[in-house]
Amino acid sequence: MIVRWVVGVVLLFGILLLMLPDRDEQTLARIASASMLVCTAELREAVAEHLQQGEGAIPAFDNPCPDLLAELDVSEQGVITLRGLSHPLSMVLEPEFIGGEARWRCHGEPEEWITRLCTVDK
């Protein structure tokens, strides 16, 4: 009875492990790049508001996710450059104002590691 139970539990865990998505480097890097976008959402809002008000130079910002981002830079034009900490990712977010609303164009390297949430406009 106990042997059947143990074998059943082992088979159940084996089946669950087979159902998990692949955890290769590209998949993990895509998750990291999506997290980088989410992490900078408030920063993008603040930069867009600052640019719309025309207040001159962009103020310095603290890194909102130091465990995820190795580098964060904001230019005077509002272009945000991100570099990943645990994965060699780089992303550039560029503001574009359409009808008073900020839309962010995004591209990054290596391209196959960048999340699909990042629309690649070149």
Instruction: With CA atoms as reference, report the closest residue to 64 among 93, 42, 83.
Output: 42
- Which residues share a beta bridge with 120? 106
How do the domains of the chain map onto residue ranges?
Answer: 26-113
pLDDT in tens, the chain (122 residues): 665 654 455 445 555 545 555 567 788 888 888 888 888 888 898 889 888 888 766 777 788 888 888 999 898 888 999 999 888 899 999 998 888 888 899 989 988 888 887 764 43
Q: Which pLDDT tens digit goes with each residue over 30-54?
A: 888 888 888 888 889 888 988 888 8
Structure tokens at 43: 């920063």
Instruction: With CA atoms as reference, report the closest residue to 74 among 39, 102, 47, 53.
Output: 47
Cα dist from 85 to 21, 42, 75, 77, whole Å: 23, 20, 20, 25
pTM: 0.74
